[in-house]
Amino acid sequence: MDERFKQIAKLFQRLPGVGPRQAVRFVLALLDKPDSEIEELGYAISHLKQDISFCNQCFNISDSAVCSVCSNPSRDRTKMLVVEKVTDLDSIEKTGLYKGLYHVLGGAINPLDNVLPDNLRIKHLESRINVLTESVKEVELILAMNPNTPGETTALYLKSQFTDKPNVLITRLGRGLASGSHLEYADESTLKHALEFRK
């Protein structure tokens, strides 16, 4: 394979989870497509940042300045579920079971990757909570970080930041056995949390 081909394949390795072999397959597959399809993808990528913007409230993906969740008057303004990434928000929204607001932090605290509290949208979360508590008696701040070290660290940090706020109730998503799993094969940490979160 020639140099330019290799260069282009390498660009595709910037996509998450794409290795050298899959990158090559992507380029070869595109070469088989009609010109119009290739052009459409190239254009979409080149104009990505112009075309896609974020809600200035919760940082969800949004066409407009305020996203469809934040601008929906029927959402419950006494609940704020805090997630690391837009894809986490998306997973929960797809269940249709949560009717409150969201806040996307933009990651989780991970000193090894140089992600510190200041790199996350925590200040912005504070001002949103302050505004909400002015108009409602109590706001439930639901911490929905991932059950791993950066997620746990972030949850602990947020707890420490919001624990003294008046009218804020801090909760965490339930931990324990996932649906379809087996008690017998659960790891110790999952069983520990299953005992702790029993109710």
Interface with a second copy in residues 102-161 (CB under 8 A): 142, 144-148
Which residues in 160-179 contact a second copy (CB under 8 A)? 171-179
**Which residue stretch of 55-63, 110-118, 119-127, 156-164 sits at the interface with a second copy (rule: CB under 8 A)?**
55-63
**Which residue stretch of 117-125, 131-139, 159-167, 189-197 sits at the interface with a second copy (rule: CB under 8 A)?**
189-197
Contacts 24+ apart (CB under 8 A), 57-62: 57/128, 58/89, 58/101, 58/102, 58/103, 58/104, 59/86, 59/103, 59/104, 59/106, 59/121, 59/124, 60/86, 60/89, 60/102, 60/104, 61/86
Least Cβ distance, residue 40 to a second copy (angstroms): 6
Which residues in 2-21 contact a second copy (CB under 8 A)? 2-5, 7-8, 11-12, 14-17, 21
| Measured distance CA(19)–CA(23) in Å, rounded | 6
**Which run of H or of E encompasses 149?**
helix 149-162
By CB under 8 A, the count of residues binding a second copy is 95
CB distance 44 to 51 below 8 Å: yes
Q: Which of 36, 48, 73, 137 binds a second copy (CB under 8 A)?
A: 48
Residue nearer to a second copy on the CB measure, 19 or 131: 19
Residue nearer to a second copy on the CB measure, 15 or 156: 15
Asked if 36 touches a second copy (CB under 8 A), the answer is no
Residue nearer to a second copy on the CB measure, 14 or 137: 14
CB distance 99 to 121 below 8 Å: no
DSSP-assigned letter for residue 112: G
CB distance 27 to 13 below 8 Å: no
**Which residue stretch of 49-57, 109-117, 120-128, 157-165 sits at the interface with a second copy (rule: CB under 8 A)?**
49-57
CB atoms within 10 A of CB 144: 20
